[in-house]
Structure 1
Amino acid sequence: MPRRVALLAGVVVLAAVPSAVWLGTGGPGGPSAGPPTPPVATAPPTPTAPRPEPPRPALVDPDPATARAFAAVRGRLHGEVGLAWVDADGIHRLGGLRTGAAWSTVKVPMSVAALRRPQGDTRDLVTRALRRSDNDAALALWTGLGGGAQAARRVDVVLDRLDSAETRTSSSVSEPPFSPYGQTRWSLTDQARFARALTCRAPRDPVVREVLEEMAQVEPGQRWGLGGVEGARFKGGWGPGADGRYLVRQLGVVGRGGHRVAVALAARADSGVFADGVADLDLLTADVVTVLADRPGYSC
Structure 2
Amino acid sequence: MKPEDTSGLSELGQAARDASATGSVKDPDWRPFPRGDEPVADSKAGDIAEAGGHSQRFWLGIGFAVAVVVALVAGGGLLLWANPEILGSSSPSAAPSSRVTGMSSGDSIGNKSPNPGQSLADSPETETKPCQLNGIEGTSGVPCEADSELAGSAGTASPPAGGTGAGAAEAVKGCDGATIVAPAKGKLTALELRQKFEALGEAAGAEIAVAWYDPKYGLVTAGKEGAWPAWSTSKVPLAVAVMQDGKGLDLQASMRQAITASDNAAAGRLWQGLAASNSERAEAMNRVLRQAGDSKTVVPTEQKLEGYSIFGQTTWTPTNQVRLAAALPCLKDAQQVTEFMGQVIPDQRWGMGRLPGAVFKGGWGPSGEVYTVRQFGWYEDSGGNRVFLAMAVKASSMSTGIALLDSFASVLR
Superposition TM-score, scaled by structure 2 size: 0.52
Residue identity (%): 35
- 1:154–1:284 distance in 2 versus 1, CA, 3 Å: same
Match of residue 49 from structure 1 = none
Provide the alpha-carbon RMSD of the alignment.
2.1
Amino acid at match of 1:191: Q
Q: Residues 92-103 of structure 1 correspond to what in structure 2 (within 5 A)? A: 92-96=220-224, 98-103=226-231
Task: Give CA deviations for 1:168-210 in whole Å, capped at 9, x if unaligned.
Answer: 11111111111111000001111111111113x15xx4x2111
Any stretches of 5+ residues in structure 2 without a counterpart? 1-131, 142-188
User: Does 2:214 match 1:87?
Assistant: yes
**1:137 pairs with 2:263:** no
Cα offset for 1:82?
1.2
Larger Rg: 2
Aligned counterpart for 1:105 among listed residues 230, 233, 240? 233
> 1: CA distance between counterparts of 2:192 and 2:404?
20
Residue aligning to 1:11: none
> Residues 1-300 of structure 1 correspond to what in structure 2 (within 5 A)?
56-57=135-136, 63-89=190-216, 90-96=218-224, 98-116=226-244, 117-118=246-247, 121-146=250-275, 147-199=277-329, 201=330, 205=332, 207-241=333-367, 243-256=368-381, 257-269=383-395, 271=396, 273-287=397-411, 289-290=412-413
Equivalent residues of 1:57, 1:86 under 8 A apart: no
Provide the rounded CA distance (Å) in 1 between the counterparts of 2:384 and 2:135: 21
- 101 and 55 in structure 1: CA distance in 2 versus 1, 3 angstrom threshold: closer
User: What's the CA shift for 1:278?
Assistant: 0.8
- Aligned-partner Cα distance in 1 for 2:231–2:241: 17
Pair 232,119 (structure 1): closer, same or farther in 2 beyond 3 Å: closer
Residues 8-59 of structure 1: per-residue CA shift (max 9 Å, x gap): xxxxxxxxxxxxxxxxxxxxxxxxxxxxxxxxxxxxxxxxxxxxx9764556
User: Could you tell me which residue of structure 1 aligns to residue 16 of structure 2?
Assistant: none
Shift of 1:78: 4.0
SS at match of 2:334: helix
Change (3 A) 1:65 1:114: same
Matched with 2:5 is none
Residue by residue over 1:64-87, the C-alpha shift from the partner in whole angstroms, topping out at 9 and shown as x without a partner, is 232343355344424111100112
* CA distance 1:145–1:279, shift in 2 (3 Å): same
Paired residues, what number? Answer: 230
Cα gap change, 1:252 to 1:283, in 2 (>3 Å): same
For the structure 1 residues 254 and 268, does the alpha-carbon distance in structure 2 shift closer, same or farther, using more than 3 Å as the test?
same
